[in-house]
Amino acid sequence: MTDDPILPERRHSVRFRAAKPATIIAGHDSVPCLMRDLSEGGARLRLEDPGIVPEDFLLQFGHAEPRPCRIVWRAQHQLGIAFRD
C-alpha cells in the first residue's frame, strides 16, 4: 500500500500517443512543433520555445484544416492545448 494521494483524472477524453509534425499559425507567423499526444479535446505539443506562442492560435497537422486552439499550460519545450472548435 502507498501513501501517495490519488489525483483525479481531469481529461474529458482519452489521449493517444503521437509523434506527428504540426505547425502553430499565429497571424503571419508559423512555428514548427511535434504533436506528442492527441485527444478529441486537445493535444500536447513539443517545441523549442513555447514562450513565443500566443494564448490563441491555429494548429495545422495532417491534411486537415487548421484548428483553433488555446493554451492550457506551458512547460519547458511543451504546451498543453485545448481545441476551441
- Domain coordinates of the chain in residue numbers? 16-83
**Nearest alpha carbon to residue 83 among 59, 54, 52:** 59
Is residue 63 predicted with pLDDT exceeding 70?
Answer: yes
If one looks up domain 16-83 in CATH, what number appears? 2.40.10.220
pLDDT tens digits, one per residue of 20-60? 999 999 999 999 999 999 999 999 999 999 999 999 999 99
